[in-house]
């Protein structure tokens, strides 16, 4: 992007001053190199978000920001319902509560390497992955309602996990205020056979080694040690979440004139938080969050069972589970007072700082774990929320590396077998039902995750704690 479009506030903060219909400024956190490489749509979409009714302080974009649907991916915006604030289905995204969880194993690389291939093959055999993948679980109407209300707590109650898991999940594993009745029959049909599945796109399950520690004290609080093996799971609400997004985007776009909302882009379809449709969407979105939490919980149980067969000494305790693609009601300090705001994080991670009451006691002093996924051959990171991120971005940070090229461009550049063979040569085993999907998600199709994480760290959004390198990747 053209840097002349911005007012540079610091080395990692770039402001778009209000102009035209903008109600607040737009702020992008990035290094100069990252912002130069961002596509022009990030600028345009950030400006558009800043025009929405009831927006508070600014429209934000994280260092991994790239073109999305309505909001940029990596976009953060908070709205005040008492000032006509809106909720936007496009500001949440289609894969509602797509997120990442990380598990300890207590193992080392030396423990893993003798069974690396066997582990990769069994994980691939037991974890359904890919477009339209289905699992062994089939939910009837009653269980569907219970799952959409109970989230990961529902899964644990049915034997897919242990109660201790819930303390290491946002919202303690259950999003309150879910309204399964607001979820369409079509959305429920799409999810009936998809529980405990990875899906496709950038979703994955990785076995990783902690290769470096950047903050010993926080790493210790998180239970991370250099040389230890962890498992990272990245997936979301599958067909149900996508259908909820589709259903309500259409309804919001049609209803916008009734609420006297002028949209700069139809993809920004929204409704007042306090309106009937706004409340209906929030109930359906919260149900989809529970779907994603339950899905990751079932996947965790499947992973534990595979390790129990091959590496029975593995511990597989949950480090943390974070969501991106959400809108949550949170208390934030604005202009010296506390206000209840609805914070949209699209492709962005909540990053509460040390001492926040929503964090479980073992982690509270360190701040919330922020899990940043890479792409197969690239590293992933664990960060921690900072006290300063409350003021800078409503306690939000980036969620991944962010795409540097489209999937079509990636397909023209790489072949799936080529990527698999190159990574195997580096000791990384890939298992996927789709060579095309592997090519689309080639490591080179993404930004440099280290540069993104460094920008988040230097901007004060989250503190860098540990780097993880992949050894096995099950790719959807």
The pLDDT tens digits of the residues spanning 177-204 come to 999 999 999 999 999 999 999 988 889 9
Whether the full predicted model's pTM is greater than 0.95, yes or no, is: yes
Q: How far apart are CA 276 and CA 335, in angstroms?
A: 30
The answer to whether the beta carbons of residues 347 and 64 sit under 8 Å apart is yes
Give the up-direction half-sphere exposure of residue 179: CA atoms within 13 A in the CB hemisphere: 14
Residues 431/124, Cβ–Cβ less than 8 Å: yes
- Structure tokens of 472? 């096995």
State pLDDT tens for residues 89-122: 999 999 999 999 999 999 999 999 999 999 999 9
Handedness of CA 240, 242, 246, 248 (dihedral sign): positive
Q: Which of 345, 351, 361 is nearest to 391 (CA)?
A: 351
In sequence order, what are the beta bridge partners of 334? 337
SS3 call for 247: helix
**Domain coverage including residue 256:** 3-475
Give the whole-angstrom CA distance, residue 300 versus residue 380. 19
**Is there a catalytic annotation at residue 399?**
yes
Phi, psi dihedral angles at 245 (to 5 degrees) = -60, -45
Distance CA 417, CA 90 (A): 35
Please give the structure tokens belonging to residue 362.
């073992």
Mean pLDDT of the chain: 96
Eight-state DSSP code of residue 130: S
Total domains in the chain come to 1
CB-CB contact of 468 with 424 (8 Å): no
Pairing of strands 99-108, 326-334: unpaired
3-class DSSP state of 6:
coil
Q: What is the pLDDT of residues 368-417, one digit of tens each?
A: 999 999 878 889 999 999 999 999 999 999 999 888 888 889 888 989 99
Q: Tokens in use for 75?
A: 């976009």
CATH number at residue 158: 3.90.1860.10
**Mean pLDDT of the 334-338 span:** 93
Alpha-carbon radius of gyration of the chain: 21
Q: Annotated catalytic residue: which of 203, 324, 332, 399?
A: 399
């Amino acid at each position: 992007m053209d840097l002349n479009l911005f007012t540079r506030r610091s080395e990692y903060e770039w402001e778009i001053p209000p102009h035209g219909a903008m109600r607040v400024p737009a702020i992008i956190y990035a290094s100069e190199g990252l912002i130069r490489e961002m596509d022009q749509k990030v600028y345009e979409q950030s400006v558009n978000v800043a025009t929405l009714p009831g927006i508070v302080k600014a429209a934000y974009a994280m260092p991994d920001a790239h073109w999305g649907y309505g909001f940029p991916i990596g976009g953060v915006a908070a709205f005040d319902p008492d000032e006509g604030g809106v909720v936007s289905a496009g500001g949440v995204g289609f894969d509602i509560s797509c997120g990442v969880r990380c598990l300890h194993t207590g193992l080392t690389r030396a423990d893993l390497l003798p069974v690396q291939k066997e582990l990769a093959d069994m994980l691939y055999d037991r974890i359904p992955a890919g477009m339209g993948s289905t699992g062994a679980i089939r939910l009837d109407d009653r269980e569907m309602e219970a799952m959409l209300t109970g989230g990961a707590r529902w899964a644990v109650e049915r034997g897919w996990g242990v109660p201790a898991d819930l303390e290491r999940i946002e919202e303690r594993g259950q999003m309150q205020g879910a309204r399964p009745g607001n979820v369409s029959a079509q959305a429920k049909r799409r999810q009936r056979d998809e529980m405990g599945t990875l899906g496709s796109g950038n979703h994955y399950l990785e076995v990783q080694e902690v290769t470096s520690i950047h903050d010993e004290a926080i790493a210790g609080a998180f239970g991370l040690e250099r040389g230890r093996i962890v498992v990272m799971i990245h997936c979301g609400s599958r067909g149900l979440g996508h259908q909820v997004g589709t259903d309500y985007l259409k309804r919001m776009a049609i209803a916008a004139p009734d609420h006297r909302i002028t949209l700069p882009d139809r993809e920004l379809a929204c409704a007042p938080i306090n309106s009937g449709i706004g409340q209906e969407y929030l109930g359906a979105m919260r149900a989809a969050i529970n779907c994603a939490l339950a899905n990751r919980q079932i996947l965790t149980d499947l992973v534990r069972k595979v390790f129990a067969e091959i590496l029975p000494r593995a511990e597989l305790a949950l480090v943390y589970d974070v969501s991106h693609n959400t809108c949550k009601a949170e208390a934030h300090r604005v202009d010296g007072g506390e206000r209840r705001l609805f914070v949209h994080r699209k492709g962005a991670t909540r990053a509460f700082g040390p001492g926040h009451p929503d964090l479980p006691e073992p982690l509270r002093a360190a701040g919330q774990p922020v899990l940043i996924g890479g792409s197969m051959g690239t590293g992933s990171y664990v960060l921690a929320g900072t006290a300063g991120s409350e003021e800078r971005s409503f306690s939000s940070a980036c969620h991944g590396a962010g795409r540097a090229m489209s999937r079509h461009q990636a397909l023209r550049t790489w072949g799936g077998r080529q990527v698999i063979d190159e990574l195997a040569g580096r000791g990384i085993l890939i298992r996927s039902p789709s060579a095309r999907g592997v090519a689309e998600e080639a490591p080179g199709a993404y930004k440099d995750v280290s540069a993104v994480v460094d920008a988040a760290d230097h901007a004060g959004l989250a503190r860098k704690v540990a780097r993880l390198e992949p050894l096995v990747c099950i790719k959807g």
